[in-house]
Amino acid sequence: MTSTVSRQWKLVRRPVGHPVADDFSYESVELPALSEGEVRVANEFISVDPYMRGRMNDIKSYIPPFQLGKTMIGGAVGRVIESRSPELVEGDLVDHMRGWRDIAQGKASDFTKRRELPGLPASVYLGPLGVPGLTAWIGLVVVARMTPGDAVFVSDAAGAVGTAVGQLAKLRGASRVIGSAGSDEKVQLLTGKYGYDVGFNYKNGRVSRQLAAAAPDGIDVYFDNVGGDHLEAAIYSMNDRGRAAICGSISSYNETAMPPGPRNMWMLTTKGLRLEGFTIVNYMQHADDFVSAVGPLVASGDFVFDETIVDGIDNALEAYYGMMRGENTGKMLVRIAGQQ
């Protein structure tokens, strides 16, 4: 018999500022019998991501907010444990958007079958071959239109997206790749493992000064995961015709007041700069190009990645908090063990 009880996290109150435990509820939910065309999946890993903070607010955005009293959703990868669909059979590896629970159930069409990659964990489909890798590819290649010889700066460079951006930039012939991170240990990882030419700890001094020292000849491309002082610093350091792919602004996600914008926006005019925000939902036509380019590199080990893993669905909220505090290196994941 497969499990009919799913342990799930629900949003029960809209957070104000930093989310707290009382904003959530951890419940055991009895699952109904499968209907024709449905499958039941034991999740092996679920993803926690910065964008989820925005979904906790009841505001219009590129993706609908979480519903109060309903189970939150997010990326997950798992294995089919029961099926009433010819599309998927027991044992198939799948990824999907029914995270924040240990057992997921729904129409087979909501789950995507994935190929087992020798020597790699199933979680690879939540990291370098999932949304973070695709985000890095779209932002760098499609939005910022990076070309060989460009100098590239990446904020939050030790995260799942940032580590991918740095490697892609080097592979595509960047003249110099600079990254910022929140600890000296992470900076060492950037330059040692991920091929960054130079990195700096943004906690060690003013970002604009550290970036100017790291990129004395300026930068041509900025991949922004942070916003705030990092965006302002990048504008100062950008060469004429520089381009920025604005992916996220994690520095302000928990703020209750509107943060001030960069004070040097006039430089967009004088330097002819282009700042372009993006979300991958508008660029999915490039997904096949991404898989063709990055898939073989990940399979061969030429594209490396880190994971920070928290065990147990009951610890998913702590994993989310840790990710928002910058405690992860690479992708933050919740590993769910002990499924039957």
* Pair 117, 10 in one domain: yes
* Pair 187, 241 in one domain: yes
* Pair 108, 136 in one domain: no
* Pair 244, 272 in one domain: yes
Residue 340: the pLDDT is 36
Q: How far apart are CA 322 and CA 313, in angstroms?
A: 15
Q: How far apart are CA 274 and CA 244, in angstroms?
A: 6
Sign of the Cα pseudo-torsion (158, 162, 167, 169, in order): negative
Per DSSP, the three-state class of 243 is strand
* Pair 89, 148 in one domain: no
Contact 78, 105 (CB under 8 A): no
Residue type for 228, please? G
* Pair 135, 119 in one domain: no
Query: Residue 210 falls within a domain, yes or no?
Result: yes
Q: How far apart are CA 183 and CA 67, in angstroms?
A: 36
Q: What is the CATH number of the domain that holds 314?
A: 3.90.180.10
The helix or strand, by DSSP H or E, that contains position 209, with its residue range, turns out to be helix 207-214
Q: What is the CATH number of the domain that holds 269?
A: 3.40.50.720
Query: Residue 290 falls within a domain, yes or no?
Result: no
* Pair 138, 114 in one domain: no
Residue 162: the pLDDT is 95
pTM of the model: 0.87
Cβ neighbours for 296, distance < 8 A, ≥ 6 positions apart: none
Range of the domain at 185: 131-282
Residue 67 in tokens = 């519903």
The helix or strand, by DSSP H or E, that contains position 302, with its residue range, turns out to be none
Distances (CA, A) of 104 to 29, 73, 74, 130, 227: 11, 10, 11, 19, 35
Residue 326: the pLDDT is 87
Q: How far apart are CA 45 and CA 123, in angstroms?
A: 6
Residue 248: the pLDDT is 81
Query: Residue 206 falls within a domain, yes or no?
Result: yes
Per DSSP, the three-state class of 245 is strand
* Pair 139, 275 in one domain: yes
* Pair 11, 153 in one domain: no
Neighbours of 28 (CB within 10 A): 9
Query: Residue 299 falls within a domain, yes or no?
Result: no
* Pair 180, 151 in one domain: yes
Contact 244, 276 (CB under 8 A): yes
Residue 224 in tokens = 């922004």
Distances (CA, A) of 251 to 133, 135, 156, 182, 326: 21, 19, 10, 12, 10
Cβ neighbours for 201, distance < 8 A, ≥ 6 positions apart: 180, 181, 182, 183, 184, 186, 187
Per DSSP, the three-state class of 20 is coil
Edge-to-edge strand ranges of the sheet holding 176-181: 198-201, 176-181, 151-154, 219-224, 238-246, 274-277
* Pair 37, 11 in one domain: yes
Residue 252: the pLDDT is 58
In tens digits, the chain (340 residues) has pLDDT values of 566 899 999 999 999 999 999 999 999 999 999 999 999 999 999 999 988 998 999 988 878 999 999 999 999 999 999 999 999 999 999 999 999 999 999 999 999 999 988 889 999 999 999 999 999 999 999 999 999 999 999 999 999 999 999 999 999 999 999 999 999 999 999 999 999 999 999 999 999 999 999 999 999 999 999 999 999 999 999 999 999 999 987 665 666 566 777 999 999 999 999 999 999 989 999 999 998 999 999 999 999 999 999 999 999 999 999 999 989 988 999 999 754 3
* Pair 221, 168 in one domain: yes
CA dihedral angle for residue 148, residue 149, residue 153, residue 158, rounded to 10 degrees: 60
Query: Residue 295 falls within a domain, yes or no?
Result: no
Rg (CA), the chain: 21
Query: Residue 225 falls within a domain, yes or no?
Result: yes
Distances (CA, A) of 337 to 27, 36, 203: 18, 28, 36
Query: Residue 340 falls within a domain, yes or no?
Result: no
Number of domains present in the structure of the chain: 2
Q: How far apart are CA 136 and CA 34, in angstroms?
A: 37
Query: Residue 289 falls within a domain, yes or no?
Result: no
